[in-house]
Structure 1
Amino acid sequence: MDEQLVKSRVVKIDSEESWNYFVSQANTQGCPLVVHFTAAWCIPSVVMNPFFEELALQYLDILFLLVDVDDVKELALKLEVKAMPTFIIMRDGVQVDKVVGANPEEVKKRIDEYLNTIRVNSHS
């Protein structure tokens, strides 16, 4: 199968408008968000991109957003993103977890932990 044919499930955010749109869509659907704050000049961030794409294909009930901090500076400030890459897990517009640095295992672990907590809560 040709890799290029697989449509990316990661949505690139290029403005506060698109951020607000996708966050409110996710909130409406009760869908968690995982956001990768990146920068084109930051090699560790760029290296994490393929991993982030893979995660998006594994966790189909989560919305994956990619934010280039140079495109949407205000957003990075608002969410207190000071280093790249930063990964933020959000639900209902609120940050529930944050991983700073290019650490694929940790990001995946935090997503799994987060999903386990909502599964436990939704069954009780």
Structure 2
Amino acid sequence: MENLIDILSLEDFEKATQEKSVFMFTAGWCPDCVFVKPFIGQIVSDNPEFKFYKIDRDQFIDLCKDLDIMGIPSFVAYDKGVETGRFVSKLRKTKQEIQNFIDSVK
């Protein structure tokens, strides 16, 4: 997940929501999050119009509660501070499902 920019503070998150961005909510212990690791870099490369960020759910549990993100991995898109879409569930996500979500918020 080296292609994703780490969110390290709430200020980082707020600033990043101002641009065309996709946030991946994840955790180190999550096997479904590890499942996307081999192909998330390709998704980032294939969608240069977005900046991609990674948020560790365990470090930002209050933010996740505020955003109603209980399952991971989950993806939320923003542009100009407004949420433009979300792909939030507790189920494992495939490369095609993630790309379909990104295509839906372009």
Shared topology, TM-score over 0.5? Answer: yes
In the superposition, the TM-score normalised over structure 1's length comes to 0.72
Hey, what does 2:57 align to over in structure 1? 69
In the superposition, the TM-score normalised over structure 2's length comes to 0.83
Structure number with the higher helix fraction is 1
1:67 counterpart letter in structure 2? I
Hey, what does 1:87 align to over in structure 2? 75
Which of 11, 16, 33 is the equivalent residue of 1:22?
16
What is the CA–CA distance in structure 2 between the aligned matches of 1:14 and 1:73, rounded to whole Å?
13
- Identity rate of aligned residues, in percent? 24
Which of 87, 97, 105 is the equivalent residue of 1:106?
97
1:77 counterpart letter in structure 2? K
- CA-atom RMSD, angstroms? 1.6
Which consecutive unaligned segments of at least 5 residues does structure 1 have? Answer: 1-7, 27-31, 116-124
Q: Which has the larger radius of gyration?
A: 1
* Count of residues in Structure 1 that have an aligned counterpart in Structure 2: 102
Which consecutive unaligned segments of at least 5 residues does structure 2 have? Answer: none
Q: Could you say which structure has the greater relative contact order, defined with CA pairs below 8 angstroms and 6 or more residues apart? A: 2
Deviations 1:69-119 (A, max 9, x none): 11112221121101111111222222222222332211101211322xxxx
